[in-house]
Amino acid sequence: MGLFKKIMFIFKRHYLKKKGYSDYYIMHYNEELEKGYRDKSFSLKDRKWAYKRGFWPFRIQQYGLTEENYKGIFSDRDYFYLYPINNRYSRWIDDKLTMKYVFAPFDRFMPRYYFHIMKDRDIMKLMDCPKELKPDIESIILLLENKGLLAAKMASGTYGIGFYKLEYKDGLYLVNKKSYTRDEFGKFLLSLDNYIITEFVEMHPDLKKINPESVNTIRVTVINEHGNDTIIPFAFMRIGTKRSGVVDNVAKGGMVCKIDVKTGRFYDGQVLKNHVYENVEYHPDTHARLEGIVPNWELVKKTILEMSEYCPQLKWLGYDIAITADGFSIIEINSHHGLHKAHEYPPEVSNFLFSELEKKKKKYGLK
């Protein structure tokens, strides 16, 4: 970066900070947003229209944006302006290990945590690690040989980035289905930095029938606006495919279903093609019908509301959970989860976000 660009960046950063924009917005989102507006796969007219109104250009088709309706749909720019909605308390859940400690009273609803790999601290045992194991690579390998399945996750990753399914099967060590020798597997583990080795959560048999290769997670949105009025206004299920591999992320080729929060019914399967959602009735690989009732749904709602009330400082949460045979397991909790179909948000979600936006703009003197 040249001297002039550095000076301009410092000036712009100072200006945006005074207006309430976070370092995350300044260092990441603002750059990505501007890159999106240079994407020539969209017309210049559409890029200019979207930029002026704060949306990614692909949202025009995805949301069906028009001059008449865009003001009622929460924009990408406004959403990232709100970051962090939970202020300094976001750190309680942004890191999976911190989350595990904070929500210790609800530990039975979280995976077992065995090891923490950090290049500057080597390997550390975590709270659920068997006492006889040592903090070393050999013990992780022995644990995998004993369990058959483990997961390796970035301590603060999201969107399924950096997730590894670890398997030991017929004398082979597998990482996301790729085979390693014992020595190669040990070297792979040593290459990880700030990774947690955890229990691999096994899905409920009914959901496993739809797609057995990934943990088909459910995103549950929680709003606790005033600290004593917790609600679950929105939820959806993500389902993996052969294309998405061991993760269920929609952008990587996974699928999504709506969930009726009251009943737990999942329905209206969809895939994302060229940024547009298309309806799908059956899973493309297993041919299972994408409709049914989420098992243990009442337990999910009851527990998640209790957890959210336990930490009233957190007013906007996105729980990612896996339904299991005897209940459910929380994979992570997001403090600023991505916008998912903002044009279909129920009033409770849209009203909350617009209210938060209005309060922040007023605080920083923006119109």
What is the pLDDT confidence band of residue 27, given thresholds at 50, 70 and 90? confident
With pLDDT > 90 as the criterion, what percentage of the chain qualifies?
Answer: 78
- Residue 321 phi/psi, 5-degree rounding, is -125, 155
Helix axes 137-147, 182-191, angle to 10 degrees: 120
Measured distance CA(246)–CA(192) in Å, rounded? 18
Q: In whole angstroms, what separates CA 236 from the centre of its chain?
A: 12
Categorize the per-residue pLDDT at 202 as very low, low, confident or very high, splitting at 50, 70 and 90. very high
Q: In the prediction, which pLDDT does 14 show?
A: 78
pLDDT at 225 > cutoff 60: yes
Express each pLDDT in 62-114 by its tens digit: 999 999 999 999 999 999 899 999 999 999 999 999 999 999 999 999 999 99
Closest listed residue to residue 326, CA positions, set 366, 299, 291, 292: 299
Say if residue 159's pLDDT is above 60.
Answer: no
Stated as kind and residue range, the H or E segment containing 232 is: strand 231-239
Mean pLDDT of the 47-51 span: 92
Torsion of CA 36, 40, 42, 45, to 10 degrees: 100
The 3-state DSSP class for residue 183 equals helix
Residue-level pLDDT at 280: 95
Q: In the 3-class helix/strand/coil scheme, how is 285-347 assigned residue by residue?
A: CCCCECCEECCCHHHHHHHHHHHHHHCCCCCEEEEEEEEECCEEEEEEEECCCCCCCHHHCCH
- CA contacts within 13 A on the Cβ side of 231: 11
Per-residue pLDDT band at 160 (split at 50, 70, 90): low
Is a pLDDT exceeding 70 seen at residue 157?
no
Whether 166 shows a pLDDT value over 80: the answer reads: yes
Token code pair at residue 17 = 């900070």
Domain edges within the chain? 3-85, 112-199, 204-355
Say if residues 21 and 81 touch (Cβ distance below 8 Å).
yes
pLDDT at position 37 is: 79
What is the pTM assigned to this prediction?
Answer: 0.93
User: Is residue 318's pLDDT more than 90?
Assistant: yes
Above 60 in pLDDT, residue 1? no
CATH fold group of domain 204-355: D-amino Acid Aminotransferase; Chain A, domain 1 (3.30.470)
